[in-house]
Every structure is written in C-alpha cells, then in structure tokens.
C-alpha cells in the first residue's frame, strides 16, 4: 500500500465514524515494512521480515471521546470496530475540552526522513552485515567468547492521517540500525554490554567496526570491578545513561502527567529548577532525525519548543487536549493517544567527556544503569549502576553493584558540566553530563 492508499483507508475510517454519529473523528494509518537479522556465532539466529499495518481512530461524540487501535483493515471488520468504538463513548463523561485541534499543519517541510537506499537494500547484504558485525565483535578481545547476538534492522514506513475537519496528509520515512551484545568471560565471571547505532539514513549510522569496538570495550573494561563504599560524590552520566534521565524528564514535563498530578514539576512553570547548563529542547523539525515529522499524531505542525532555558522551566509538552486543560499552548507533541517526544534532548556543551572526567578530583562515571522510574510524582531517582571510580581526574578502577540516587530538582540544579557528545540515535537523547553531588550506595 502506498501513501495514497493509506490516506484512502484513513478517510474511510473517518467516514465510518461520522456515519455512526460521531461529531468529529480522526484516523491514522501506519504501514511499516520491517526487517531484522540476528547473527550469533556464524549462524543467522533470527530472520524476521513482515509488513505491519495498523489503524488508530479517535472519535468525539457529544463531548465524549473514544479510541480504537486495530489491525483488522477489511472494510467489514473496520466498520464494525468503529461502530463499537463510537458506542463505547457513551460511558465517558462529557468534556468540553475534547475535540480535534483548532489548527493543522499547512506546510510541507523538507525533513529528509526517507532514504531510498534503505528500502532498496538487498536482504542477503543485510544478513551478511549482521554476520560481519558478530565476527568483528568477537575479534575485539580474546575474552569475548560468546554473545547475545549482533543485529541489523530496518523499516520503511508510511504514516497517513485524515480527519473530519478536512486535514489529510501522509509521509514516508525509513530507519536503520545495527547493534551488538558481546559476552566476555574472565575467571568464571561473565560480563555483557551492548552498543548500537540508529538513524533514518544508512549514511547516518556509525560504522560496524566502531559499533563492534564500543560494545567490546564496554564489555571487557569492567572486569575486576569492585563495589564502591557509600558516599556523596560528583557523578558523570555517560550519554546513553544520560538519555535515560531525559526519558524520565520527558515524563515529568508531559502535560498529560502534569494534569493528573503525576509530575514533580506540576505547578512550577516559570520557576528556575535547573542550573545554567540545563537547556532542554523538543524539536520536531531537525533535518533527517529520528524524532522529526512534519506533523504530530493529531495533524498539528511540529516545531521547536524550549522546555528548560538556563534552568528555567519554560514549557510543558502538550497535545491539544492537555494544552487546553492546563491553559498552555499546544506544542505539536501528540503521539496519537497522549503526549510524546519529537527529538527531546539536553543541549550539548563544549567540553568533551574526557574534559569532564579530568576536571573531577573524586567522583563516579556511570556507564550503565538498571531499574526504571515507576512514578513521577515524587521526583525520586534511584538506579543500580556500573562504571568507574574517578580519582585525580582519571579513571581509577571499575565499580559495580552499587546504586546512584538523588532527587530530580537537586540533580538538575547540580548539573555543572555538559559534554558535546550528543548523538541523535533515538527520539530522546542526551550528551554526557556531570551532577555536582549525588549519593552512591555500595558497601
């Protein structure tokens, strides 16, 4: 199915909804042709190739809203499911803030989201790439005697959106990625780490050789790790770990969470929360990036939104409903069913990660964390971690089996150094940064 076919299908769903009595409706169709090859040792362990089609519909009926997600795109199946959805709105409370946006994207920015060479790539070549990455990874160090697999994946997607207000637009995009997860053994201890790269264009990807080297290094460099003592020290978060912190921050600045009390930032718009280094942006219009799109999940034009400016909380990210609810401006951040990121990132600084380490007399470099936030109301951060102890500006020895903890307000206020190593390998990304003081819990 091409963009025109996807748009016709979306329009058809909108037509079914209004025919069932909905006052307004919106439908988006996503068609993704996906490829994934996993190589392990000299074997292709997995080969997955398929086209996933799905349709998401939102209906508004007498101020009540309901939604549908379906993979049954047959005319009869779709008509029945839409009718069921319109009927289910009867159980919802009337809400005058519901409804389609007031304004839709009217421009067609050249965002370069599609790379024809991804679509044209031969399956055999892609499989060979996964096998080659696996070989390179195993060759990095003699202690790497096993792996959890090396991967190549890509997708070619069509996104089409139509609504009863007359908006209809579609765009095509590609993405590709390679990653590997070696397992190394030394003195009966197994260690693993992963490293990967992703982008919309094949040319944006880091080389297979670099991916193998980064994954290999991260796996073997922590052998001999000790458990640190419990202390309060400066903590440097390497960029991939830092991106995880930005994920939590995204949840806290999401108007959908703010509106229901599930954010420690509720009611704090305009306040200075972070340090001068805390500049956080959401941008849907960066050229060729994974977080870019011409319009969001409701057809609203994407844009650049400054979320934190020199530490001051400048904006919450909102879709149409939650913008109305909070009385703030919409930011083009609908993901179709709530609030999501475009490219959400901490602005890079001028230092290198090495500079941050060199200017830390005593501290900790965190290279990996496990655990996740389960709520955003209290603003607590606590994760299992591994990395290096820093002494006199140098990596002294590897450490693991400890936790790093703090409260978000203090962490953001404590950012005293940001590196320039930002990369856009996802929608939520960050450069490495340092927090002046956090609690390390070990022995």
Partner 1 sequence: MIDESTLARVIARALRRGGEFADVFCERRTSQSLRLQDGNVHEAACGLVLGVGIRVISGESAGYAYSDDLSLEALLQAADAASHIARGGNNGIAEPTLRHEAVASWYDGLRDPADSARYADLLARADVAARAYDPRVVAVNAHVGDELQEVWIANSEGRVVHDRRPMVTLGVQVVAGDAQERSSGYVGDGGRTSLAYFDDHSPEALAREAARIAIVNVSAVAAPAGEMAMVVGAGGGGVLLHEAVGHGLESDFNRRGTSLYSGRVGERVASELVTIYDDGNLPEERGTINVDDEGVPGQHKVLVEKGVLRGYMQDLLNARLMDAHSTGSGRRQSIRYLPQPRMCNTYMPGGESSVEEILASTERGIYAKSFAGGQVEISKGDFVFMIGEGYLIERGKVTAPVKNATIVGNGPDAMTKVTAVAGDSRLARRHYTCGKGGQYVPVGVGMPTVKISSITVGGTRHDG
Subset of 133-152 contacting partner 1 (CB under 8 A): 146-148
SS3 of residue 168 by DSSP? strand
Find residue 248's DSSP bridge partners: none
- Near partner 1 by CB under 8 A: residue from 203, 371, 391, 394: 371
- DSSP character for 254? B
400 binds partner 1 (CB under 8 A): yes
Pair 89, 65: CB distance under 8 Å: yes
Pair 387, 372: CB distance under 8 Å: no
Nearer to partner 1 among residue 165 and residue 231 (C-beta): 231
Q: Minimum distance from CB of 36 to partner 1 (Å)? A: 9
- Near partner 1 by CB under 8 A: residue from 151, 175, 178, 383: 383
- Near partner 1 by CB under 8 A: residue from 231, 269, 328, 413: 231
- DSSP character for 392? T
Pair 107, 294: CB distance under 8 Å: yes
Q: What b/e string do you get for 112-121 counting C-beta neighbours within 10 Å, with b at 16 or more?
A: ebbbeebeeb
Which residues within the stretch 157-176 sit at the binding site for partner 1 (CB under 8 A)?
none
- Near partner 1 by CB under 8 A: residue from 19, 139, 377, 396: 377
125 binds partner 1 (CB under 8 A): no
Nearer to partner 1 among residue 195 and residue 288 (C-beta): 195
Residues that bind partner 1 (rule: CB under 8 A) add up to a total of 81
Q: By 3-state DSSP, what share of the chain in percent is helix, strand and coil, each rounded to 5?
A: 25, 40, 35
Q: Minimum distance from CB of 438 to partner 1 (Å)? A: 8
How many CB atoms neighbour CB 52 within 10 A? 12
326 binds partner 1 (CB under 8 A): no
Q: Minimum distance from CB of 73 to partner 1 (Å)? A: 7
Which residues within the stretch 14-53 sit at the binding site for partner 1 (CB under 8 A)?
40, 43-53
247 binds partner 1 (CB under 8 A): no
Pair 351, 279: CB distance under 8 Å: no
Which residues within the stretch 336-355 sit at the binding site for partner 1 (CB under 8 A)?
337
Of residues 354, 330, 327, 216, the one with CA closest to residue 282: 330
Nearer to partner 1 among residue 169 and residue 252 (C-beta): 252
- Near partner 1 by CB under 8 A: residue from 108, 232, 287, 397: 232
**Helical segments of 143-207, H only:** none
- Near partner 1 by CB under 8 A: residue from 140, 167, 195, 264: 264
Pair 395, 367: CB distance under 8 Å: no
Say which residue the tokens 């919309």 belong to: 200
Q: Which helix (H) or strand (E) holds 198?
A: strand 195-199
Which residues within the stretch 275-314 sit at the binding site for partner 1 (CB under 8 A)?
none
Which residues within the stretch 211-230 sit at the binding site for partner 1 (CB under 8 A)?
227, 230
Q: How far out from the chain centre does Cα 386 lie?
A: 22
Nearer to partner 1 among residue 35 and residue 169 (C-beta): 35
Using the rule CB under 8 A, give the single segment among 160-168, 187-195, 298-306, 307-315 that binds partner 1: 187-195
Nearer to partner 1 among residue 60 and residue 424 (C-beta): 60
- Near partner 1 by CB under 8 A: residue from 382, 395, 413, 416: 382
Using the rule CB under 8 A, give the single segment among 132-140, 200-208, 277-285, 402-410 that binds partner 1: 402-410
CA torsion sign for 32, 37, 38, 44 is positive
Which DSSP string do the residues of 259-274 spell out, in sequence order? HTT--TTTT-TT-B-S
Q: Minimum distance from CB of 4 to partner 1 (Å)? A: 19
Q: Minimum distance from CB of 193 to partner 1 (Å)? A: 9
How buried is 63 (Cβ within 10 angstroms: 0-12 exposed, 13-18 middle, 19+ buried)?
middle
Which residues within the stretch 64-123 sit at the binding site for partner 1 (CB under 8 A)?
64-73, 77, 81, 84-85, 88-89, 91-93, 95, 123
189 binds partner 1 (CB under 8 A): yes
Find residue 370's DSSP bridge partners: 384
Q: Minimum distance from CB of 107 to partner 1 (Å)? A: 30
Using the rule CB under 8 A, give the single segment among 21-29, 309-317, 358-366, 378-386 that binds partner 1: 378-386
Q: Minimum distance from CB of 377 to partner 1 (Å)? A: 4
Residue 265 has which token pair? 């930032």
Q: Which helix (H) or strand (E) holds 165?
A: none
Q: How far out from the chain centre does Cα 239 lie?
A: 14
- Near partner 1 by CB under 8 A: residue from 402, 408, 424, 433: 402
CA distance linking residue 308 with residue 310, whole number of Å: 6
- Near partner 1 by CB under 8 A: residue from 18, 30, 54, 352: 54
Residue 344 has which token pair? 């959400």
């Amino acid at each position: 199915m091409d963009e025109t076919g996807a748009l016709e299908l979306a329009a058809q769903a909108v037509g079914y909804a209004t025919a069932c009595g909905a006052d307004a409706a919106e439908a988006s169709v996503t068609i993704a042709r996906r490829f994934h090859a996993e190589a392990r040792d000299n074997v292709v362990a997995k080969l997955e190739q398929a086209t996933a089609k799905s349709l998401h519909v939102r209906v508004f009926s007498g101020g009540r809203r309901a939604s549908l997600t379906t993979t049954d795109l047959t005319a009869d199946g779709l008509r029945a499911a839409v009718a069921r959805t319109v009927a289910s709105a009867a159980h919802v409370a009337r809400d005058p803030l519901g409804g389609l946006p007031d304004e839709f994207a009217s421009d067609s920015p050249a965002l370069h989201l599609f790379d024809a060479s991804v679509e044209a790539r031969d399956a055999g070549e892609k499989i060979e790439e996964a096998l080659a990455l696996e070989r390179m990874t195993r060759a990095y160090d003699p202690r790497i005697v096993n792996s959890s697999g090396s991967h190549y994946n890509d997708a070619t997607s069509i996104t089409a959106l139509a609504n009863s207000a007359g908006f209809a637009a579609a765009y095509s995009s590609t993405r590709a990625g390679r990653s590997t997860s070696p397992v190394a053994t030394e003195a009966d201890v197994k260690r693993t780490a992963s490293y990967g790269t992703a982008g919309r264009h094949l040319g944006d990807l880091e080389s297979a050789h670099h991916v193998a080297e980064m994954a290999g290094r991260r796996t073997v460099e922590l052998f001999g790790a000790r458990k640190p003592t419990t202390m309060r020290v400066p903590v440097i978060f390497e960029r991939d770990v830092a991106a995880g912190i930005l994920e939590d921050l995204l949840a806290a600045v999401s108007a959908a969470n703010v509106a229901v009390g599930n954010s420690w930032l509720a009611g704090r718009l305009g306040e200075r929360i972070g340090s001068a280094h805390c500049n956080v942006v959401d941008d849907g219009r960066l050229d060729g990036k994974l977080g870019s799109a011409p319009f969001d999940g409701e057809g609203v034009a994407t844009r650049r939104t400054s979320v934190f400016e020199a530490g001051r909380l400048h904006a919450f990210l909102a879709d149409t409903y939650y913008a109305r609810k909070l009385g703030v401006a919409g930011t083009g951040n609908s993901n179709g069913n709530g609030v999501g990121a475009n490219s959400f990132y901490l602005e890079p600084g001028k230092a290198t990660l090495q500079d941050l380490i060199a200017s830390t007399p005593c501290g900790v470099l965190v290279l990996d964390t496990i655990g996740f936030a389960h709520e955003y109301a209290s603003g607590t951060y606590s994760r299992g971690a591994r990395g290096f102890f820093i002494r006199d500006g140098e990596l002294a020895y590897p450490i693991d089996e400890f936790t790093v903890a703090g409260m978000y307000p203090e962490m953001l206020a404590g950012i005293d150094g940001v590196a320039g190593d930002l990369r856009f390998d996802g929608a939520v990304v960050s450069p490495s940064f340092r927090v002046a003081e956090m609690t390390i819990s070990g022995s």
